[in-house]
Amino acid sequence: MIKSTLFDLSGKTAIVTGSTKGIGKAIAEELARHGAKVVISSRKADKCQEVAKAIRDEGHAAIGIAAHIGKKEDLENLVSKTRAEFGPADVLVCNAAVNPYYGPMAQLSDDAFSKVMDTNVRSNWWLCNLVAPEMMERKDGSIIIVSSIGGLKGSTTLGIYCISKAADFQLARNLAMEYGPHNIRVNCIAPGLVRTDFASALWTNPELLKRTESHTPLRRIGEPEDLAGAAVYLASRAGAWTTGQMIVVDGGVTSAG
Cα distance between residue 79 and residue 135, in whole Å = 12
Q: What is the pLDDT of residue 206?
A: 86
Delineate the domains of the chain, giving CATH numbers in brackets: 13-195+224-251 (3.40.50.720)
Cα distance between residue 86 and residue 145, in whole Å = 21
pLDDT along the chain (257 residues), means of 10: 93 98 98 98 98 98 97 98 98 95 94 97 98 98 98 94 98 98 98 85 82 92 96 98 98 87
Verify whether residue 161 is a known catalytic residue: yes
CA atoms within 13 A on the CB side of 181: 2
Q: Quick one: how far is CA 71 from the chain centroid?
A: 18
Q: What is the pLDDT of residue 257?
A: 63
Q: What is the pLDDT of residue 197?
A: 80
Residue 58, φ and ψ in degrees, nearest 5: -80, -10
Cα distance between residue 71 and residue 126, in whole Å = 10
- Give the N- to C-terminal CA distance of the chain in Å, as an integer: 44
Cα distance between residue 248 and residue 238, in whole Å = 17
Q: What is the pLDDT of residue 60?
A: 98
Do residues 193 and 222 lie in contact, with contact meaning Cβ atoms separated by under 8 Å? yes
In what helix (H) or strand (E) does residue 189 lie, and over which residues does it extend?
Answer: strand 184-191
Cα distance between residue 212 and residue 206, in whole Å = 10
Q: What single DSSP character describes residue 105? A: G
Q: How long is the chain? A: 257
Angle at 96 between CA 188 and CA 138, to 5 degrees: 60
Q: Choosing from 101, 102, 161, 233, which is the catalytic residue?
A: 161
In what helix (H) or strand (E) does residue 94 lie, and over which residues does it extend?
Answer: strand 91-94
Cα distance between residue 106 and residue 241, in whole Å = 42
pTM of the predicted structure, to 2 decimals: 0.96
Angle at 96 between CA 11 and CA 166, to 5 degrees: 110
Do residues 243 and 146 lie in contact, with contact meaning Cβ atoms separated by under 8 Å? no
